[in-house]
Amino acid sequence: MSGHHGPTRRRTARYSAFSVARRGFGGREWPRAWRRHDLAPRYDVVIVGAGVHGLAAAYYLAANHGITDVAVLDKGYVGGGGSGRNTAIVRSNYLTPEGVRFYDRSVKLYERLAVELNYNVMFSQRGHLTLAHNDASLRTMAWRAEVNTLQGVASSVIGPRDVKKLAPALDVSPGARYPILGALYHPPGGIIRHDAVNWGYARGADALGVQIHQDAEVLGIDVDHGRVRGVRTSRGDVSTPVVLNATAGWSSLVSALAGVKLPIVTHPLQAAVTEPVKVFLRTVVVSGSLHVYVSQTDRGELVFGASVDPYPSYSTRGSLEFVEEVAAHVLELMPGVGRLRLLRQWAGLCDMTPDYSPIMGFTPVDGFLVDVGWGTYGFKAGPVSGEQMAELVATGKTPELISAFSLSRFDAGTLVGEKGAASVGH
Ligand X SMILES: Cc1cc2nc3c(=O)[nH]c(=O)nc-3n(C[C@H](O)[C@H](O)[C@H](O)COP(=O)(O)OP(=O)(O)OC[C@H]3O[C@@H](n4cnc5c(N)ncnc54)[C@H](O)[C@@H]3O)c2cc1C
Please tell me whether residue 421 binds ligand X under the rule CB under 6 A.
no
Identify the residue among 3, 80, 179, 318 touching ligand X (CB under 6 A). 80
| Residues whose CB falls within 8 Å of the CB of residue 370, separated by 6 or more in sequence, listed in order | 244, 245, 251, 255, 260, 262, 359, 360, 361, 363, 407
Please tell me whether residue 190 binds ligand X under the rule CB under 6 A.
no
Looking at the Cβ atoms of 80 and 399, the one nearer to ligand X is 80
Looking at the Cβ atoms of 119 and 379, the one nearer to ligand X is 379
CB of 19 to ligand X, least distance (A): 29
Looking at the Cβ atoms of 172 and 350, the one nearer to ligand X is 350
How many CB atoms within 10 Å of residue 207? 21
How far apart (Å, rounded) are the C-alpha atoms in residues 260 and 228?
12
Q: Residues in the chain, how many?
A: 426
CB of 366 to ligand X, least distance (A): 21
Encode 281-297: b = buried (16+ Cβ within 10 Å), e = exposed: bbbbbbbbebbbbbbbb
Please tell me whether residue 75 binds ligand X under the rule CB under 6 A.
yes
Within positions 133 to 172, which residues make up the interface with ligand X, using CB under 6 A?
none
CB of 269 to ligand X, least distance (A): 4
How far apart (Å, rounded) are the C-alpha atoms in residues 43 and 265?
31
Please tell me whether residue 70 binds ligand X under the rule CB under 6 A.
no
Please tell me whether residue 51 binds ligand X under the rule CB under 6 A.
yes
Please tell me whether residue 192 binds ligand X under the rule CB under 6 A.
no
Contact 123, 114 (CB under 8 A): yes
Looking at the Cβ atoms of 113 and 181, the one nearer to ligand X is 113
Residue 296-325 contact track with ligand X, rule CB under 6 A, x = bound = ---------x--------------------
Please tell me whether residue 378 binds ligand X under the rule CB under 6 A.
yes
Establish how many alpha carbons lie within 13 A of residue 5's alpha carbon, considering only the half-sphere containing its beta carbon.
Answer: 15
Please tell me whether residue 288 binds ligand X under the rule CB under 6 A.
no
CB of 308 to ligand X, least distance (A): 9
Looking at the Cβ atoms of 156 and 270, the one nearer to ligand X is 270
Please tell me whether residue 43 binds ligand X under the rule CB under 6 A.
no
Please tell me whether residue 82 binds ligand X under the rule CB under 6 A.
yes
CB of 218 to ligand X, least distance (A): 4
CB of 349 to ligand X, least distance (A): 7
Please tell me whether residue 87 binds ligand X under the rule CB under 6 A.
yes
Q: Is 132 helix (H, G, I), strand (E, B) or coil?
A: strand
The burial of 362, by beta-carbon neighbours within 10 Å (0-12 exposed, 13-18 middle, 19 or more buried), is given as middle
Looking at the Cβ atoms of 88 and 172, the one nearer to ligand X is 88
Q: Which of 214, 133, 195 is nearest to 170 (CA)?
A: 133
How far apart (Å, rounded) are the C-alpha atoms in residues 189 and 284?
8
Which span (63-71, 87-95, 124-132, 334-342) binds ligand X, by CB under 6 A?
A: 87-95
Cα 97 to Cα 101, 103, 208, 414, distances in angstroms: 6, 10, 35, 14
Which residues are 83's β-sheet partners? none
Within positions 213 to 272, which residues make up the interface with ligand X, using CB under 6 A?
217-218, 246-250, 254, 269-271
Looking at the Cβ atoms of 146 and 217, the one nearer to ligand X is 217
How far apart (Å, rounded) are the C-alpha atoms in residues 400 and 396?
13
The burial of 306, by beta-carbon neighbours within 10 Å (0-12 exposed, 13-18 middle, 19 or more buried), is given as buried
Size of the site for ligand X (CB under 6 A): 41
Catalog residues that contact ligand X under the rule CB under 6 A: 48-54, 73-76, 80-83, 85-89, 217-218, 246-250, 254, 269-271, 305, 348, 350, 374, 376-380, 426
